[in-house]
Structure 1
């Protein structure tokens, strides 16, 4: 028993000694003090070291410093970041993905240039780690390997201001390569508007032509892998923020994201608005269901259709499920299709009145796949944001209520616009929704 106790005490002593010896005090990491390196070369001076078509290894202890103005967050800049200082910009090829996690837009970085290489791809100057000469006819600049990122690139402060340089389209030149630019008063060519930036399904890159109202044009190049490849190209006029690039003799612009495109103004290639469609019902026959050339007046359920009515010398369309005894009413008044391919900034306007409102609704929809038949509910319709009269419970609303400007700018090709009435007048008092609606002065304008 004594021997066992002695062994137990010895074991405790050994464990105590081991625990004491293994205990280590961990120091807190030193506070961040920024990049401990001073730039001794500007990006403009770095670019001047390159001779077109060649490769140059940098042998001196040069350092450049700048702010990241574009990264790979939305996959339009593949395995690269774009660095810019007050003198110019340079694209840095890096053999990794998710670079934006450590090198996001707005981060200040310094790059130690010794043993890195300059080269160009179709006259676009880039910075990399080596030259691949396996194909002697087409040598290629290699990106910086991931394990060497921290050797060459020192990370500095985050969230530094990124201000694009304002330029005109006709001012684009090689000195602006890899610079973030702001170009005002531009628009996409009519042939490109409404289509997607690139082929997101087949992952194919594509170009779209950007034109300036004061002269000059460039291609907007988008990768098929970009997160916004499937987004629609806008049809208006406005401003564009992009990184300038070249491909041989072609001038190219590259988006970071579609938030850098703001084109809500009138196109400069067309003078003012033009009327694409209009109807005030003044020629409609009174006292009967509306029958207007090209329009569809469809009672999909309940047998109730829009009719022409007249008050105070004004003719309008009216519909109501009151006293019909129909348990469910779905009625459509559909305009003739409108081709929006050759216009921009399209706006729908109309006016409404309501009466004896008890829950019936009138809504406006748009469709690009409706076939013009008698069962519109079988097709895809997008609800448009419009102001429609409501709340007049004891009589007809006194004044006409404007819908406001209902934007159609996200639509392209042949588009159907429809007014849909939903109501019910069951025999029981429960769920009666028989609101009367009046509709007038429908108009679609575009630029």
Structure 2
């Protein structure tokens, strides 16, 4: 088995994290209402942790063990799992429920009831697991000789066997010897996020998306599409700037709310578990129950650009009076175009390598006292994304032709830039508008700068900046 080659790697990695992963809390109370066998099993786990015979590893560190393996692979023909050789145990709090049939033979758990930092899938040959592993239940999983890796949705999960090249389920015989719940059931406090803030780091977590709605063209539709055999994906939207940000709500054909009409009259909040679609192509949200859809507010409407004055615009038909200068490396912003769209492009990718570069694209001076309440709007496309290299700044003391490092720069728009969609593939020429970036604090004459930073040669994403607008009311 290929996974045996990982023993040395796992042991080396684990040695470095075990010091920080061990539980420091000595309060190991034993539940008294789980039945004698389950009580005894959990009591033994807690005693073994105290004695050092068993080490608790965090969900984040367990996932890091697998990710280190995954990052070291190439090509397509390799196992998407590793076997755990050490006496480890991982603890989490359940975020999902199969009570409505929207989850099947799996549950998800995160590392804290509130403000989690990591989450994990658990695959098991058991239906109606909500009766045992209810939402908020504290669960311990013994990992020795078990497997961690991708499930069919490319979500890192644990299981008791393998399934072709993926992690397989804990068998019915393994469950009572490997998965133990405590008497603790915590209230899971959902992460409050906008749709554009939900990212892969939230997979497996219970989140609440605020100020959302289903598109009006779905009026009369149900959560499930009767023409689909398995899962149905419905678009969820939120008003952001002059358009919508979108996300996917996915519903199993076995859910008991499959034929329930979508609420399209109002908007509000929706809470669910962030996962991936089959094959791992898209982030999706799965509902535990439609009671977690609370649409009691009026629908939102995007901003109308006609309500604003465009006080500055650059469409980059040429580089024009914009300055390009590098503080690291020789690769820089350059003007180009495709399909009638012109833009400034930057990328650290060069002949199969990633160059170290920091390149500045600096605007001409702009008078910010000529109007009030300025907002910045950018249109950007990306390709081959492996991280976000773009940052935006303004400066009141930069002098053209000097070293940018000698000036004072204030970062702007980090959230709006990081919220843009990610294209890991070929150029799709899909230019997305950022949300409005506040410039109301800028006074006097100032310049804007857009900086491509390859982060010491680790990010090579291609960035095409096609439009820069400053709006004022």
TM-score scaled to structure 2, two decimals? 0.47
Q: Which has the higher helix share?
A: 2
Q: Which is greater in Rg?
A: 1
